[in-house]
Amino acid sequence: MNIFNSFIFFMKQRIHLIIFIVSVLCLSIVGIHIWNADLITVLSQYTVILLCYQFVLIVSGLFVIFILPSYPIFFIILRNADFNILERICLMSIINLSFYIIIGYVGHLLAFAITNIFFFISLLLTYSMIVGLSLIYAIKKTFMVRILTRYDEREKQEFIREFSITHYFKRVELNGILIGILLFLLCIFNLAASRIFSGTDPWLHISIVKLITEINYLPLEEYLGNVGLHIIGALFYFFSGVEYLILPQFYVFFSVPMSGLVVYILFMRIFKNKNLAILGVLIAEISSLGYGQIMHQYWAVTLALMQSLLIFYLLFMRIGIFIEQKELASKTLLRKMGTIYPLILILFVSSLFTHSLVTMIFLISYLWIFLIYFLKDYRRAIDFIFLGGLAGIFLLCFLFDFATGHFSEFNSFFTLPIYYYFFGLIALGVCFFPIIRSFIKNITFAQKELLNINYSLLENYKSREIKVIIPLSIFIVGLFTFIFFLGNIFLFQLSITTILVVIEIIIFAFFSVWGYIFFQKSTKGKFLFIWLVGLGFLMAFGLLFDLVVAVEGLWLRILHMASPVILIGFISYIYKLIKIKAMHITKIKVYIIIIIIFSFFSSLTELTQFCREDSLNRREASVSKWYHPLTTGRNGIIAKYGYYYTFLFNGYPYYLDNENLMLNDIMGHLILDDNFALPENHVKLGINILQGLKNIFDKELYILLPSEPYQTFESFSQIYGYLHRFDLFIYYNLPYLNRIFSAKDLDLIEDPLYWVI
């Protein structure tokens, strides 16, 4: 045991040196892969050696991407910063990804070829510089003594005598282990439920990744100029040698655990309670509020959402100190500024390059909070000026039309007459002035206990929860459910899964609002409640935009992104129940458990339906592989939503090395709906719409018939259409169509491709 404890002590004392040695080894392995690309071909003759090499390469690539170059910053330079180990790991990983995104854009602007060598050399230079700065810092702080010189013998003997591996494992809470296992099982479920991978958007994303890796430039014309996620995908391909199809399949093993860690560290800062933070992670990942669903997809939103939440986490760390002090010293204002501002700047810029719309929605909500506190006491909310600078960065990018393509949807606002803006500003002032004034009036600066309860009234609080709140929640949910079911019969005609999700959102929204009523009585609770109100205003604007300008689902996006804020209210309600000692009451405990189980059930049902109806199986994806050898020229195709992206991935001529050829340039595309799918709708007023489209576009036109349900996008009352076997049989005898190919399973389910004659 003494030998083992001595070994552990040695590892503990030399951990930074060991990490540095491991980083050098991993960089060497990645470098060998980059400069010896044919090595895998040579090793292919030796299966076991090849598998071992690929495993070591993948592990080395992951280590390099997630640990370097910022490890020395968070674990040496900022070793005395107010971050625990989980916060350091979370920040380090996301900051590293943000670094690579910014490096990719900078290299593009400087006209460098975006290659594996470019990223590798950029990493080496940056890491070497950071290691050098870390050594200088360590020497100045005499921290170098613990790395290079002998340790204190008395300290060693004390460690050997007292260290116990059993005691160490006992410190790890069972809830933490269980939530880790659950997140891993969720990743496995996503992998098993997906046919190839979840959704169809990943086909577009890996097409852009392949553009970067094959043509070695950033295709800023694609995905509205936001290619941050695709830079990370290209980096995985460069450093780990993984195939393109692997990226979306296993991305969930990063997004789900990392998003859970982001929620955990944020909730720990808010509630200072591990069990509540773990409960927050559980509900965030298994509920249908939106956060967990987003993290199960290979979307740019996932990374941008985590980056934006980390920005709030850093801002909350800083202002949390200011708002809990009655008297604020001037030197306190500079506290953590030099640490937090650079981190926020890196996160913001990279998030803007990843998904500008998500980033700005959150930035506007942060500006809303800090504006109110700035008007109350400008010294405590001095970060408002810094956030204004971030908004200036966005405006600069917007003026130069750089990485802000998501805002093209709002161009119609800039074409209105000038007096519209004048009256709009007046209306906003009239609406917001009393709200802002009320918030400013009620803000007080002092450290208040969270949900400060008068314990002499405990029985009244308990009785209110059992006799009023829980029955009221059941009544409200039942009423909305009845109205929704009634409306669904005559108007909506939505699936039972959608109805379950709506019921779930209503339940969480009710308890979240009730939780915030008490939570805002605390200093930090008021701050978070103002954030909720700001996101509520943005959601209302999104709904108005969808109704007046275009049906884009903007309000629904904001609702999904606001789910962590809604969840804070729900967890604060649970904390209130703990404070009033009501959680041990059987009725309340059972009711909360039922809510969580119902949420878990509806979430899994929704995810399963999404993977079944909005994903492509291998038979469907194989059509695009056969299409391009059978056709020539730039043709048009009518296919269900998402099919088109497989044609881009499999049909784009990467070998041409043409930076000016966009993905959409290789073929035209129309989304399949009932007008195109159902044979009886092909002829209207004596005109064949398929042949008419062919003549109008002056190109060959093809129609791909799916065996699975297709999204119609025609109205709110019918989301999915379906072709029956009889409809497919009719297609055999249509004189204006020629069947040229069909992808068929062993069970005779097929997806035929027809040419419009």
DSSP 678: S
Using the CB atoms, write b or e for 580-597: b if 16+ within 10 Å: bebeeeeebeebbeebee
User: What's the whole-model pTM score?
Assistant: 0.93
The pLDDT score that the predictor gives to residue 55 is: 93
What residue type is 118 in one-letter code? Answer: F
- Asked whether residue 612 is assigned to any structural domain, the reply reads no
Report pLDDT digits (tens) over 57-92: 999 999 999 999 999 999 999 988 889 999 999 999
pLDDT of residue 579 exceeding 70 = yes
In which band, very low, low, confident or very high, does the pLDDT at 456 lie, cut at 50, 70 and 90? low
Contact between residue 54 and residue 40 where contact means Cβ atoms under 8 Å apart: yes
Any domain includes 540 = no
Whether residues 155 and 9 share a domain: the answer is: yes
Residue 492 lies in a domain: no
pLDDT surpasses 80 at 716: no
Task: Spell out the long-range contacts of 428-436 with Cβ–Cβ below 8 A and sequence spacing 24 or more.
Answer: 435/533, 436/371, 436/372, 436/375
Is 26 within the bounds of a domain? yes
**For 701, which DSSP code?**
E
pLDDT interval class at 717 (50, 70, 90): very low
Q: Is 153 left (phi over 0), alpha (psi -120 to 50) or beta?
A: alpha
Minimum mean pLDDT among 142-146, 281-285, 479-483: which range? Answer: 142-146
What tokens were used for 418? 């000038």
Mean pLDDT of the chain: 86
**Distances, alpha carbon 108 to alpha carbons 65, 481, 658, in Å:** 20, 52, 16
147-185 confidence digits (pLDDT tens) = 554 556 676 677 666 666 666 666 777 888 999 999 999
Task: Show the tokens assigned to 15.
Answer: 């951990």
User: Rounded to an integer, what distance in angstroms lies between the CA atom of residue 545 and that of residue 549?
Assistant: 5
Structural domain ending residue among the three candidates 412, 447, 482: 447
Confidence of residue 722 (pLDDT cuts 50, 70, 90): low
Position 452 confidence tier, pLDDT thresholds 50, 70, 90: low
In contact, 516 and 570? CB cutoff 8 Å: no
Average pLDDT over residues 608-634: 79
Over residues 346-351, mean pLDDT: 98
Of 267-281, 310-324, 399-413, 546-560, which gets the smallest average pLDDT? 546-560
Q: How high is the pLDDT of residue 214?
A: 93
**Largest CA-CA distance found in the chain, in angstroms, rounded:** 97
Parallel, antiparallel or unpaired: strands 636-639 and 701-704: parallel
Q: Is residue 701 part of a domain?
A: yes
Pairing mode, strands 750-756 and 701-704: antiparallel
With beta carbons less than 8 A apart as the criterion, state whether 470 and 587 touch. Answer: yes
160 shares a domain with 18: yes
- The three-state secondary structure class of 706 is coil
Q: Is the Cβ–Cβ distance between 311 and 348 less than 8 Å? A: yes
In a domain, 422, yes or no: yes
Last residue of a domain, one of 172, 204, 239: 172
User: Is-contact 702 756, C-beta < 8 A?
Assistant: yes
Is 60 exceeded by the pLDDT of residue 677?
Answer: yes
Residue for token digits 């093993």? 253
**How would you class 689 by CB atoms within 10 Å of its CB: exposed for 0-12, middle for 13-18, buried for 19 or more?**
middle
Per-residue confidence band for 521, with pLDDT thresholds at 50, 70 and 90: confident
pLDDT at 300 over 50: yes
Are the CB atoms for 671 and 640 separated by under 8 Å? Answer: yes
Q: Which residues are 751's β-sheet partners? A: 743
What whole-number distance in Å separates Cα of residue 311 and Cα of residue 315? Answer: 6
Q: Do 308 and 168 fall within a single domain?
A: no
**Spatial CB neighbours of 561, under 8 Å, sequence gap ≥ 6:** 290, 294, 301, 305, 308, 358, 361, 362, 535
Residue 497, beta-bridge partner list: none
Q: What value does the CA radius of gyration of the chain take, rounded to a whole number of Å?
A: 28
Given a cut of 90, whether residue 376 has pLDDT beyond it is yes
Q: How confident is the model at residue 548, as a pLDDT?
A: 74
Least confident of 241-255, 351-365, 587-601, 669-683: 669-683
pLDDT over 60 (residue 566): yes
Q: How many domains does the chain have?
A: 3
Amino acid at 156: K
Closest CA to 319 of 346, 337, 304, 345: 337
pLDDT score at 61: 96
Sign of the CA dihedral with 303 first, then 309, 310, and 315 last: positive
Least confident of 326-340, 573-587, 588-602: 326-340
Domain ranges, residue 725: 618-756
The token pair that represents 473 in the structure block:
């929640």
Please tell me the distance from the alpha carbon of residue 237 to that of residue 229, in angstroms, as a whole number.
13
In a domain, 522, yes or no: no
Per-residue pLDDT, 112: 95
Q: Which of 172, 205, 232 is the last residue of a domain?
A: 172
Q: How far apart are CA 134 and CA 633, in angstroms?
A: 57
Instruction: Establish if 352 belongs to a structural domain.
Output: yes
E-assigned strands of 532-671?
636-639, 668-671
**pLDDT value, residue 163:** 66
Co-location of 166 and 22 in the same domain: yes
Poorest-pLDDT segment among 287-301, 372-386, 545-559: 545-559
Confidence category of residue 750, pLDDT binned at 50, 70, 90: confident
Q: How far apart are CA 470 and CA 464, in angstroms?
A: 9
Are residues 168 and 313 both part of a single domain? no
